[in-house]
Amino acid sequence: MAERYDAVIIGGGHNGLTTAAYLAKAGWKTLVLEKRHILGGATTSDEIVPGYTFSVLSYVVSLLRPEIIRELELPRHGLDILPLDGTYTAVPGDYLWRRDDHAATMREIRRWSKSDADAYEEYGQLMADMARFIKPILGIVPPDPTSIDPRDWLGVMGLARDFARLPERQQAAFIGLMTMSAADFLDQWFETDPLKATMSASGIIGTFLGVRSPGTAYVLLHHYMGEIDGAFRAWGLHKGGTGAIASAIASAARALGAEIRTDAGVAQVRLSSSGDRATGVVLESGEEINAGVVVSSADVRRTFLQLLEPGVLPEDFEAAVRRFKFRGSSGKVNLALDALPTFTANPGGTEYLRGAVSISPAVEYMERAYDDAKYGRFSRRPYVDIVIPSLVDPSVAPPGKHVMSCFVQYAPYNLAEGPADWENQREAFGNTVIDTISEYAPNLRDVIVEANVVTPWDMEKEWGLSEGNIFHGELSLEQLFFSRPIPGWSRYRTPIQDYWMAGSSTHPGGGIMAANGRLAALELLKAKKGKVA
Amino acid sequence: MTVGTAFHPRTAPLNAKMQWREWSGFFAASEYHDSHVIEYNAIREAAALIDVSPLFKYELRGPDALRLVDRLITRDATKLTPGRVFYTPWCDEHGKVVDDGTIHRLDDADGGQVIRWTAADPQYRWLRMNAHGLDVDIADVTERDAAIALQGPLARKVLEAATGEDFAGLGYFRRRVARLAGIAIDVSRTGYTGDLGYELWIPAKRAVKAWDALVAAGEPYRIRPAGMLALDVTRLEAGLVLIEVDYTSAVHSHIPAQNFSPYEIGMGRLVDLAKADYVGKRALLAEVAAGGPARRLVGLDIAWTDIEALYAAEGLAPYAPPTVSRAPVPLQAGGRQVGRVTSTGWSPLLKKMIALASVGVAHAGSGSRVQVEWTVEAKRRLVSATVVDLPFFDPPRKRA
């Protein structure tokens, strides 16, 4: 007799674990099944080189919802976020270092442009206002656009009311954010190339778009909504790497009674004989588990096209799933270092390395990086977002040594030679990234102990991220809010009864928010009126 | 990182208690002496040197420099002839105050006008945006020029001793060039203390030499350096508002209540609705046509006897904090909140607890009785206060 659970959650990433915690909290007998040997999914830390702990994929935290931290008492379970202060942009022969000191940042920007220094404050003010306006979206379940139930629309109506109340200038800015490219949007304020290029970078992360592509301005805002301890826009590092966030959520889930199994990949979701209701899962080992509800925190492609047997989904729904855009565009190079790299142009000391170090010297540089990707090549000179967590968290490297995390864009999943050719190009990609950084920090090669290169192909194979998209699908406007993941199916339900979704493919998207997992659980509990399935 | 001003080599050793605050990215001394009270006394009884170099300073040059000024400020800049200085607010297109400062007409040069524009907040972008189509060069000279306020009843004597020049003829809000220790400087009869005083505009590279000359000349007059704490008391007595304390710049406001028109911060007399078009004029006309704003800046005379009574009720001797509080405090009338107190402090000269407040127009008339929240021993109470005309302190020597 197979064991039966009220809910089985496929995937032990931060969202799956969050769903499990909330369901367990409601008294449900809950089981999480993780394919890999460790929890976390893309929120994972791994000691790939002995003594060096890498945040292998995701590497910074900011969007993790404060209500989840409170409700699951995550600090008690090990949540420990350290400050990531400042952004150093390397420019040939110079630099631009913005940091958590207003006067210093103003003086630094004024060195480049006096006008930009003034504009920087105005821009920050406007984005804070915009984020404050849009942020409630992250905490509400999107309405079904076809629904006439007014309760569904209450949250949105509040938003529409707030929008009408915004000053005209802010309304215009909002429309701009929704329609413009990041570069055009920033052009309204700034003239300093490295400043614009670095700021525009947050408009392209996780998308297959360039800084001049319309729609990227919104993604700027998405990243502006980060919040730590009530402070908007603050980004942090997690002690022990991002995997420790998943560990904290897992610990909370276990404390609430959830069971969690690793090395337990799900082969298929079992359906009732009528084929329209989920009844459990079959593991890759052949083991069968019965469940009242199955929740998939995998991305939509995996959730519907791989975990279900063909032919059970409505055709139009399945077609929409197939159309959902992944187009992974980024890679990761993790370096174990003997010593810190030294950037040729620097303000002295090593403090400039304690925050983000950005290879984004010019807007044109960013756009050229995209040009390569459009035609199926990784960028010959990519945008690189570097952090060296060991500078604020010595626990991740041996004393005096460092780990360096390099997020790289563009690394298109779809190479001209096909995605499988990443096997042949991985090494060249890693070398390109190291060469690119070395142009600004020539001693980098001398201090590398070992490099770990993660391509979008690896992300798909190892972590199940379709096409290597770090957000379970692009954060483009047509794939957000009530269109995420599929228009009409933004509320975590699926056409299969008792089969639910909770991953980053759902509203509000990716970025270690865990909002998806929480909202899915709450929506599920509401649907079942809190009663166990 | 905060940095020193051009006077730092002299001010740093004088700052015996290492009491600094940050002002626009520069170190500004809070107090130099054992207590700021002696510095306050220097401003009111002798002469004091206050380093005001962190002020944002812009130089406008060109045939259209004055047109740019006129396009922005609420006063009629066509009357700003060489040698005159205006204190003025400037507004955004909604008639809300962006900032306030002094605008100095220097001597014309190269077929154009030369303007020194001082501001609390950075204005470079605002000036540049509004200079579209005008023939004017705008330079940020914040770090090029040091500035020092020489304030107090003996300020003129010190200045005359230091320069060997006669300043009796330099009227209130006038300026002229001068030489100090061989350095070409500019002197304006301005200040933030409500007293007789001057502000000296000095090339930053010669700042230390200028300081030494002023201190040497001022020695017989018991000149002292004064910090921000003393300055704050004097500006409160003078009824002068401080941006981000008594009002919020339109640039930094997040909600309508944080926006202030000049009429709401006691600057109505500085608004010229008859002059040529300028940024915010239409909105200001509409505001006046609608009967004016709903709140006003007022001075408060807070009943010290009430405060004494609160302390007495706790078995304590009364206490008047010697510094100005910038904590906003509720203001009530008839049991309802009708405004907020923004700057509160004891005037050593007037022997009164005084305050600046923003209050509903119904209670803004001189003589109106209101109540101010006052906390003693963590107990919130109310004390009575009377609305009075500003400034609290206005010595004839200021203009003489």
Min distance A74 CA to chain B CA atoms (Å): 32
Q: How confident is the model at residue A152 (pLDDT cuts 50, 70, 90)?
A: low
CATH number, domain containing residue A404? 3.90.660
A106 to B122: CB separation less than 8 angstroms, yes or no: yes
Which residue of chain A comes nearest to B22, CA vs CA?
A103
Strand segments, DSSP code E, in A233-329 are 236-238, 259-261, 266-271, 278-283, 288-296
User: Would the CB atoms of B126 and A102 count as touching at under 8 Å?
Assistant: no
Cβ contact, residue pair A118, B126, below 8 Å: yes
Residue A155 confidence (pLDDT): 67
One domain, residues A225 and A248: no
Q: Quick one: pLDDT at residue B52?
A: 98
Residue A121: list chain B partners with CB under 8 A.
Answer: 122, 251-252
User: Residues of chain B with pLDDT > 90: what percent?
Assistant: 98
> What span, in angstroms and rounded, lies between the C-alpha atoms of A152 and A499?
21
**Residue, of A171 and B33, whose pLDDT is higher:** B33
Beta partners for B373? B382
pLDDT the model gives residue A83: 86
Structure tokens, A495 = 């056409």
The domain total for chain A is 3
Bond prior to A382 in cis (omega within 30° of 0): no
Q: A265 and A207 share a domain? A: no
In chain B, what residues touch A122 (CB-CB under 8 Å)?
Answer: 125, 251
pLDDT, tens digit, 9 for 90 and up, residues A172-181:
888 888 889 9
Tell me what pLDDT residue A63 has: 79
Q: What is the pLDDT of residue A97?
A: 97
Residue in chain A nearest B251 by alpha carbon = A122
Q: What is the distance in angstroms between the Cα of B22 and the nearest Cα belonging to chain A?
A: 9
Convert the pLDDT of each residue in B209-255 to its tens digit: 999 999 999 999 999 999 999 999 999 999 999 999 999 999 999 88
State the pLDDT confidence band at A229, using cuts at 50, 70 and 90: low
Task: Judge whether A118 is closer than 8 Å to chain B, CB to CB.
Answer: yes
Same domain, residue pair A305 and A435 = no
DSSP, collapsed to helix, strand or coil, labels residue B367 as coil
Count CB-CB contacts under 10 A for residue B153.
18
Please give the average per-residue pLDDT across A40-67, as a whole number.
Answer: 92
CB contact under 8 A, B125 and A115: yes
Residue of B93, B121, B124 best to disrupt the A interface, most CBs of A under 10 A: B124
Is there a contact between B251 and A122 if contact means CB atoms under 8 Å apart? yes
Cβ contact A195:A202 at 8 Å: no
Percent of chain A with pLDDT over 70: 94
Closest alpha carbon to B375 in B334, B339, B341, B335? B341
Chain A residues touching B123 at Cβ < 8 A? 118
Q: Does A414 touch chain B (CB under 8 A)?
A: no
Q: Does A125 touch chain B (CB under 8 A)?
A: yes
**Distances in whole angstroms, Cα of residue A284 to Cα of each of A16, A17, A264, A298, B102:** 19, 20, 7, 16, 77
* Distance of residue A98 Cα from the nearest chain B Cα, in angstroms: 11
What is the spatial distance between Cα B49 and Cα B47, in angstroms, rounded to a whole number?
Answer: 7
- Cβ separation B123–A118 shorter than 8 A: yes
Mean per-residue pLDDT for A14-22?
A: 98
Q: Are residues A70 and A187 in the same domain?
A: no
| Alpha-carbon distances, residue B289 vs A243, B266, B285, B293, B364 (angstroms) | 63, 18, 6, 10, 19
Whether A121 and A135 map to the same domain: the answer is yes
Answer whether A106 sits within 8 Å of B140, measured CB to CB.
no
> What are residue A13's DSSP bridge partners?
A40
Using pLDDT thresholds of 50, 70 and 90, give the confidence band for residue A150. low
Least Cα separation, residue A421 to chain B (angstroms): 49
- Gap from B28 CA to chain A (nearest CA, Å): 13
Residue A18 lies in a domain: yes
Chain segment A391-421, per-residue pLDDT in tens: 999 999 999 999 999 999 999 999 999 999 9
A156 has pLDDT over 70: no
Q: Identify all chain A residues contacting B26, using CB atoms and an 8 Å cutoff.
A: 103
Whether residue A355 is found in the same domain as residue A452: yes
Phi and psi based region of residue A286 (left: phi greater than 0; alpha: psi -120 to 50; beta: remaining): left
- Cα dihedral across residues B379, B383, B388, B393: positive or negative: negative
User: Do A331 and A316 belong to one domain?
Assistant: no
A451 & A345 share domain: yes
The 3-state secondary structure of B287-317 reads HHHCCCCCEEEEEEEECHHHHHHHHHHCCCC
Interchain CB distance below 8 Å, A125 and B140: no
For residue A99, tell me if it sits in a domain.
Answer: no
Q: Within an 8 Å CB–CB cutoff, is residue B139 touching chain A?
A: no
In a 3-state reduction of DSSP, which class is residue A464? coil
Q: Which CATH architecture has domain B294-400?
A: Beta Barrel (2.40)
Q: Residue ranges of the domains in chain B?
A: 8-55+143-226, 56-140, 294-400
Contact B122 A117 (CB under 8 A): yes
- Phi first, then psi, for residue A7 (nearest 5°) are -145, 135
B8-55+143-226, what's its fold?
Gyrase A; domain 2 (3.30.1360)
The residue of chain A nearest to residue B4, with distances taken between CA atoms, is: A103
Of A107, A118, A129, the CB nearest to B124: A118
What pLDDT, on a 0 to 100 scale, did the predictor assign at position A151? 63
For residue A167, the chain B residues in CB contact (below 8 A) are 256
> What is the average pLDDT across A25-53?
96
CB contact under 8 A, A106 and B26: no
Q: Determine phi and psi for A317, rounding to 5 degrees.
A: -65, -45
More confident residue, A452 or A532: A452
pLDDT of residue A220: 83
Residue A355 located in a structural domain? yes
CB contact under 8 A, B254 and A129: yes
Give Cα A403 to chain centroid, integer Å: 21
Q: Do A122 and B25 touch (CB under 8 A)?
A: no
Residue of A nearest to B141 (CA): A114
- Structure tokens of A290? 């019965």
Among candidates A118, A125, A167 on the partner chain, residue whose Cβ is nearest the Cβ of B125: A118
3-class DSSP assignment, residue B180? strand
Region of residue B313 (left: phi > 0; alpha: psi -120 to 50; beta: else)? alpha
Range of the domain at A213: 114-191+202-234
B124 touches chain A (CB under 8 A): yes
CATH of span B56-140 = 3.30.70.1400
Q: List Cβ neighbours of A506 (8 Å cut-off, separation of 6 or more).
A: A484, A485, A490, A492, A516, A519, A520
Contacts of B22 in chain A (CB under 8 A): 103
Q: What span, in angstroms and rounded, lies between the C-alpha atoms of A45 and B277?
A: 63
The pLDDT value recorded for residue A244 is 95
Do the strands A402-409 and A227-228 form a parallel or antiparallel pair, or are they unpaired? unpaired
Split at pLDDT 50, 70, 90, the class of A100 is confident
Tokens in use for A119?
């504009």
At B324 the pLDDT is 97
Cis peptide before A495, with omega less than 30 degrees from 0?
no
- Asked if residue A42 and residue A157 are part of one domain, the reply reads no
Residue A76 sits at the chain B interface (C-beta within 8 Å): no
Q: Please, what is the average pLDDT of chain B?
A: 97
The encoded tokens of residue A352 equal 């400039």
Put simply, the answer to whether B24 touches A122 (Cβ < 8 Å) is no
Same domain, yes or no, for A214 and A277? Answer: no
CB–CB contact A115 B252 (8 Å): no
The answer to whether A101 faces chain B, any CB pair under 8 Å, is yes
Shared domain check, A451 and A331:
yes
pLDDT tens-digit profile of B293-302? 999 999 999 9
Q: Chain B 104-123, CB below 8 Å of chain A: which residues?
A: 122-123
* Sheet strands (E) in B106-222: 113-119, 137-140, 145-151, 175-180, 183-188, 197-203
ipTM of the complex: 0.81
Asked if the Cβ–Cβ distance from B25 to A114 is below 8 Å, we say no
A349 inside domain: yes
Model confidence pLDDT, tens digit, residues A314-362: 999 999 999 999 999 999 999 999 999 999 999 999 999 999 999 999 9
The better pLDDT of the pair A276, A130 is held by: A276
Chain B residues with CB under 8 Å of A104 CB are: 1-2, 25
Residue A150 or B186, more confident: B186
pLDDT of residue B1: 74
CB atoms within 10 A of CB B220: 11
Q: B25 to chain A: which residues are within 8 Å by CB?
A: 102-104, 106-107
Alpha-carbon torsion A141, A203, A89, A504, what sign?
Answer: positive
Cβ pair B125:A122 closer than 8 A: yes
Q: Residue A398: what pLDDT?
A: 97
| A116, closest residue in chain B (CA to CA) | B125
Average pLDDT over residues B68-88: 98
Q: Does A173 touch chain B (CB under 8 A)?
A: no
Residue A233 has pLDDT above 70, yes or no: no
Domain annotation covers residue A95? no
Question: Given an 8 Å threshold on Cβ–Cβ distance, is B25 in contact with A117?
Answer: no
Question: How far is it, in rounded angstroms, from Cα B379 to Cα A287?
Answer: 68
Q: What pLDDT band is residue A146 in, cutting at 50, 70 and 90?
A: low
Chain A residue numbers with beta carbons less than 8 Å from the beta carbon of B252 are: 121, 125
At B127, list the tokens. Answer: 């000036």
User: Are residues A213 and A321 located together in one domain of the fold?
Assistant: no
pTM of the model: 0.88
User: Does B144 contact chain A (CB < 8 Å)?
Assistant: no
| A107 domain-assigned | no
- Give the gap in angstroms from C-alpha B144 to the nearest C-alpha of chain A: 14
For residue range A428-447, what is the model confidence (pLDDT) as tens digits?
A: 999 999 999 999 999 999 99
Which residue in B165, B157, B197 sits closest to B181, CA to CA? Answer: B165
- Nearest CA of chain A to the CA of B230: how many Å? 24
Q: Do domains B8-55+143-226 and B56-140 have the same CATH topology?
A: no
Is B125–A125 a contact, with Cβ atoms under 8 angstroms apart? no
Q: Residue B16, class by beta-carbon neighbours within 10 Å (0-12 exposed, 13-18 middle, 19+ buried)?
A: exposed
